[in-house]
Structure 1
Amino acid sequence: MAATATGFVLGALIGSITTAVGSGILYWKRERDRTDRLRGALAAELRTYDYLDEMIEDGQYEAVTERIEPPTVYGSVGGDLGRLTDDEITALVAFYADCRWLDGLQDPEDKKEGIDRVVNHRRTALEALENRSNAG
Structure 2
Amino acid sequence: MLETALGFVLGGVVGSITTAAGSGLLYWKREQDRTDRLRGALAAEVRTYSYLDEMIDDGQYESVTERVENPVIYAAVGDGLGRLSDDEITALVAFYADCRWLDGLEDPEDKKDRIEAVVERRQDALAELVAETD
Equivalent position amino acid for 1:129 in 2:
L
Q: In the TM superposition, what whole-angstrom CA distance separates every residue of 1:88-134 from its partner, at most 9, and x where no partner exists?
A: 00000000000000010000111111100000000000000001101
The residue aligned with 1:65 is 65
Equivalent position amino acid for 2:114 in 1:
G
* 5+ residue gaps, structure 1: none
The residue aligned with 2:42 is 42
The residue aligned with 1:12 is 12
**TM-score of the superposed pair, with normalisation by structure 1:** 0.97
* 5+ residue gaps, structure 2: none
The residue aligned with 1:2 is 2
Equivalent position amino acid for 2:95 in 1:
F
Q: In the TM superposition, what whole-angstrom CA distance separates every residue of 1:10-41 from its partner, at most 9, and x where no partner exists?
A: 11100000000000100111111111001000
The residue aligned with 1:33 is 33
In the alignment, the residues of structure 2 paired with residue 56 and residue 33 of structure 1 have an alpha-carbon distance, to the nearest angstrom, of: 36
Q: In the TM superposition, what whole-angstrom CA distance separates every residue of 1:34-58 from its partner, at most 9, and x where no partner exists?
A: 1100100000000000100000000
In the alignment, the residues of structure 2 paired with residue 109 and residue 6 of structure 1 have an alpha-carbon distance, to the nearest angstrom, of: 82
**TM-score of the superposed pair, with normalisation by structure 2:** 0.99
SS of 1:59's equivalent in the other structure is coil
RMSD value over aligned CA atoms? 0.5
In the alignment, the residues of structure 2 paired with residue 77 and residue 113 of structure 1 have an alpha-carbon distance, to the nearest angstrom, of: 30
Structure 1 segment 77-88 matched on structure 2, within 5 A: 77-88=77-88
SS of 2:70's equivalent in the other structure is coil
How many residue pairs were aligned?
A: 134
Q: Percent identity?
A: 72
Equivalent position amino acid for 1:95 in 2:
F
Deviation beyond 6 Å, 4+ runs, structure 1: none
Equivalent position amino acid for 1:34 in 2:
R
